[in-house]
Amino acid sequence: MSDLPIKPLRIDAAANYIDAIYRLTEGRDEAATTNALAEELGITSAGVSIMIKRLAAQGLVDLTPYEGVKLTAEGLRRALRIIRRHRILEIFLVNILGFGWHETHPRARALERVIDDAFEDRMDEILGHPTRCPHGNPIPTRDGQLLPLTDVALTSVEPGTSGTISRVTTDDADELKYLSSLGLALDLPVRLVEIAPFDGPVAADLNGRTVHLGPRLADSIRINVHENARGAARREAAG
Amino acid sequence: MSDLPIKPLRIDAAANYIDAIYRLTEGRDEAATTNALAEELGITSAGVSIMIKRLAAQGLVDLTPYEGVKLTAEGLRRALRIIRRHRILEIFLVNILGFGWHETHPRARALERVIDDAFEDRMDEILGHPTRCPHGNPIPTRDGQLLPLTDVALTSVEPGTSGTISRVTTDDADELKYLSSLGLALDLPVRLVEIAPFDGPVAADLNGRTVHLGPRLADSIRINVHENARGAARREAAG
DNA sequence: CCGCTGATTTAAGTCAACTTAAAATTTCCT
DNA sequence: AGGAAATTTTAAGTTGACTTAAATCAGCGG
Ligand SMILES: [Mn+2]
Ligand SMILES: [Mn+2]
Ligand SMILES: [Mn+2]
Ligand SMILES: [Mn+2]
């Protein structure tokens, strides 16, 4: 009497690993270690070790024992499909459903694994084909193209360098809530004032107001350096 | 580095059974049989038999061996929470995402088990607190209240009786698509013309046009009989 | 080069939710 | 009522994704 039964009650675990591996290795070219994955997924390293062997057998990751895993081309392709869904969902949760940017990540994680292509396409269209998530991360195209990131960590530039907030890399709800309570938002002008030594606080001029952040939290802030200010930033890259 | 890991990769199976039991027993007061559940869930009867015993142990169903199961008060409460989500999601898929009424059911089934209360509340608010799904089924309130149904099967009234389409009980995408291709939609005026004998076709006047439906499909159409038409039909029958 | 430490892998076992095959029970038909 | 057919339950086994405990390996400090 009903149509296709919704059979798979257990969700594709491989996708979960692929997704986690992507997040852990995004940007840098390293392999994801067993321990890091275990931490990220909330399971034991032993479990991860077993599972990544299966992923390797399926051709989704390259596994170097005692080293870690990297996504294969196919693994990356799948990861980017999930990442796209995740980021579109986050925008959807904010723009359409009215959630705050600190309320999107776990919800998008839960939804990203059950929606289909049509759902993704509808959201994309309704949202006007967004190019980044509420936290500034770029959204891959449907065929897996991804704009290269041009931003740098706020904590990596010379004091005095100014730019605009491009991205926030934390997913933690409390941290995000705190940041927005400070008035921080994407695309705001920002200038690094100083970084106190010995893991000290980071002072930044945010849209005219000075804020002081713990070094770990400040690390999660990415900025696009202003053209005219770039000279100051370049010294960092060289040094 | 991330917040709470999305641990439960396996979805609450009990909820799936509860939901199926509710759908199978909605309206009528019978118990859901093992076989019917197996069919609905797409698993073997043996599997269902084992599982409903666990549900009974959890106090979610009353099980009479070789008879079937009924939801307990607690089971019903949980079912209504899921049904509410399902129906709100269906409306959301139609009104916000632009899907057709034949494209909602499996998607809503997939989503209903991963969204949380806040998500449900946002949808409800955005949709203006809808009271029925795209197929006419009433949406329970958050505390489990459900308006009693007052409609009857199109095939159960006397020829000549008129009313308005209140509900369509099939979930099948092709059937739904076919019905809307005939111009059928909720709240349209309809009048039963005749039911041919020997499981023959059902003729109905739909908003001025006469349509002919197979008996099974016609059975899935529910109508609210017009007040004035009710007397007329009855007089006709009496006279 | 040795041995310690922490990271990783293997081994063995658990668990929920299934499966198939066989046994039990109810229903239906003559 | 009596026996076949259908339905339901039990028994036993499978699967994926874990777990804990034990074994193995890599990097380093001396
Ligand atoms: Mn996210
Ligand atoms: Mn994001
Ligand atoms: Mn439905
Ligand atoms: Mn519906």
Within the 10-69 window of chain A, which residues sit less than 8 Å (CB to CB) from chain B?
Answer: 10-11, 13, 16, 23, 39-42
- Would you say the pTM of this structure is higher than 0.75? yes
Mean local confidence (pLDDT), B117-130: 98
Determine the distance between B220 (CA) and C18 (C1') in angstroms. Answer: 33
Using the predicted structure, report yes or no on whether residue B3 has a pLDDT greater than 80: no
| Contacting residues of B for A110, CB less than 8 Å apart | 6, 114-115
- Closest CA of chain B from A47, distance in Å: 14
Q: Which of B174, B169, B79, B90 is nearest to B130 (CA)?
A: B90
pLDDT band at B6 (very low <50, low <70, confident <90, very high): low
Residue A5: per-residue pLDDT: 43
Beta carbons of B161 and B235 less than 8 angstroms apart: no
Residue A233: per-residue pLDDT: 47
| Cβ–Cβ gap A171/B3 under 8 Å | yes
Domain boundaries, chain B: 13-74, 152-238
Q: Which CATH architecture has domain B13-74?
A: Orthogonal Bundle (1.10)
Instruction: Determine the 3-state secondary structure of A189 from DSSP.
Output: strand
User: Cα(B42)–Cα(B37) distance, rounded to whole angstroms?
Assistant: 8
Q: Is A34 exposed, middle or buried (0-12, 13-18, 19+ CB in 10 A)?
A: buried
Q: What percent of chain B has pLDDT over 70?
A: 91
Edge-to-edge strands, sheet with B162-168: B152-153, B221-225, B162-168, B189-195, B202-206, B209-213
| Cβ–Cβ gap A3/B171 under 8 Å | yes
pLDDT band at B1 (very low <50, low <70, confident <90, very high): very low
Average pLDDT for chain B: 92
A11 touches strand C (CB under 7 A): no
Mean local confidence (pLDDT), B71-75: 97
Mean local confidence (pLDDT), B81-94: 98
Q: What one-character DSSP code corresponds to residue A169?
A: -
Nucleotide nearest the Cα atom of A47 (by C1'): D18
| Ordered per-residue pLDDT tens for chain A, 239 residues | 333 345 557 889 999 999 999 999 998 889 999 999 999 999 999 999 999 999 999 999 999 999 999 999 999 999 999 999 999 999 999 999 999 999 999 999 999 999 999 999 999 999 999 999 999 999 999 999 999 999 999 999 999 999 999 999 999 999 999 999 999 999 999 999 999 998 899 999 999 899 999 999 999 999 999 876 554 444 444 43
Token pair for A21: 């591996």
Positive/negative CA dihedral, A225, A230, A233, A238? positive
B97 touches strand C (CB under 7 A): no
Which residue's CA shows the smallest distance to C1' of C25?
A: B66
| Cβ–Cβ gap B122/A98 under 8 Å | yes
| Ordered alpha helix ranges (H), B156-226 | 173-181, 215-219
Lowest-pLDDT choice from A15-19, A89-93, B5-9, B179-183: B5-9
In sequence order, the β-bridge partners of residue B194 are: B203
B147 touches strand C (CB under 7 A): no
Distance A82 CA to ligand 2 centre (A): 12
Residue A27: per-residue pLDDT: 81
Nucleotide nearest the Cα atom of A9 (by C1'): C17
Residue A214: per-residue pLDDT: 96
Which residues, including other chains, have CB under 8 Å from residue A170's CB and lie 6 or more apart?
A176, A217, A220, B1
Positive/negative CA dihedral, A41, A47, A49, A50? negative
Beta carbons of B174 and B102 less than 8 angstroms apart: yes
Rg of chain A, C-alpha, whole Å: 20
Residue A227: per-residue pLDDT: 78
| Domain covering B152-238 in this structure, CATH number | 2.30.30.90
